[in-house]
Structure 1
Amino acid sequence: MTAVVNEQTSYLSDRQCFAILDRVSEDPQNGLALRAFLASIALAALRPEEARVLRVRDVELGDDGTGWLMVRPQAQERREEDSDSAGTVRRVPVCRELAAILKEETTRRDLRPDDAIFVLDNGRPLTAQVYRKTWQQARAAALQAHELDSPLGRHASALRDARIAAWLKNGDQTAGHILTVAECAGMSAPRLAERFADCLRKPTRDEIPWDRLEAALALPDLPSQPNRTARRP
């Protein structure tokens, strides 16, 4: 996946995402916790607020090294422009890399089912102020000068956008595929298509099944003569 930078949108590449996460891990106080938190956004396309409230009980891991996250709605999400399906619990797939990170963080801090997964090493809650400051410092250290002057990765939510873009680009882009990505991202399909239109492949004129479209839109054959209705005696 390559980075795309223009006036409309910007997506971090995989290399840039993990370069920033590696910089985050160098924080002497909370580096491991913050990297695990940001990795959940980068690998599962979570909103930062969704990742902050994840608890151990919300993670379902299988024997094959993958699993699911049960992402629960937050009051703040209802005000977000892309949270069309806010208010419902959704299942988000967990890849092997994220599963290993979550297991390591749970073991490292000896967490119980009701414990929040991502907190600071001193036990305090992870606040937006803390992760935003760390994100900006890591971004400044990982990106090149011309990238820093662009919208690329300006906010931690850029990790979520990069993952959604990758999901869209690396699939067959059928209606079913787009609906699945929308469900995992907690968005409606129309909103997803609007916001990530540049990630969707546009068919050429020759690929459009014009004959089937014409047949589907055709009116039924009408009788040549109108039916006469019998008059009452």
Structure 2
Amino acid sequence: MRPAEVVGLREEDCYLPEMGWGTLTLRETRPVSGKKWTDSGKRHDKRGLKAREVNSDRPVPAPPLLVEILRAHIKEFGRAKDGRIFQNERGDVLGTFSYWRVWQEARPIGLPPDKVTSLLGRRPYDLRHTCITNWLNAGVPVAEVARRAGNSPEVIHRRYEGCIDGHEELNNRKIERAMGWGEDD
């Protein structure tokens, strides 16, 4: 999910079963524009999903670990008055600086030492890029990656083609086998 989609996520839009995969139905974004640039006069305007029809939604499968984390988060922190799962200490929309600050503290704990200063560790949004790349690495079809990420297959091809990290050796072996240069299997 995009950070602006996450901050708009409401409990009622989540199917969080006791076990197994859940579903997060994204319905809005809360991008940060600044008070001078929004219709509401607040830092975050409520908007529809990127590149979607007005009032459309996007169901996103949620793996069991994420379901468990979200259930625990809701139990511990509750939700905002409007049902949003993530809120700041005043119950308002969670700002980018808040999750940026948490990310700065979490990345040395959650990432291997060689990745802390890599592109993966730079910004919270880069985790989205890494996730999409990992799905492609895992062999998930481009159309399914695009559906889950809320992009078109063309965007996935254009943006993520060639960004797969750590596969050069594997690809070299595939080419060697195809050319008849590699060892026999």
TM value normalised by structure 2: 0.66
Number of the residue aligned with 2:152:
188
Instruction: Output the amino acid matched with 2:8.
Output: V
Q: Does 1:169 align with 2:145?
A: no
Q: 1:122: Cα distance to partner?
A: 4.8
CA distance in 1, matches of 2:6, 2:82: 15
Cα distance per residue 1:113-159 (max 9 Å; x no partner): 94110113453431112212332344467768875665342110111
CA RMSD of aligned residues (A): 3.5
- The structure, 1 or 2, with the larger RCO (C-alpha pairs under 8 Å, 6+ apart) is 1
CA distance in 2, matches of 1:75, 1:109: 20
Cα distance per residue 1:8-49 (max 9 Å; x no partner): xxxxxxxxxxxxxxxxxxxxxxxxxxxxxxxxxxxxxx1111
CA distance in 2, matches of 1:142, 1:62: 26
Unaligned stretches of 5+ in structure 2? 33-49, 179-185
Deviates more, 1:120-129 or 1:50-59: 120-129
1:65 to 17, 20, 24: 20
Cα distance per residue 1:55-76 (max 9 Å; x no partner): 1011013454321111124375
Q: Does 1:101 align with 2:56?
A: no
Secondary structure class of the residue paired with 1:104: helix
Length, aligned pairs only: 153
CA distance in 1, matches of 2:150, 2:30: 14
Number of the residue aligned with 1:127:
95
Contact kept? 1:85, 1:187, Cα under 8 Å: no
Unaligned stretches of 5+ in structure 1? 1-45, 78-82, 208-233
Contact kept? 2:16, 2:71, Cα under 8 Å: no
Contact kept? 1:68, 1:92, Cα under 8 Å: yes
TM value normalised by structure 1: 0.54
Secondary structure class of the residue paired with 2:94: coil
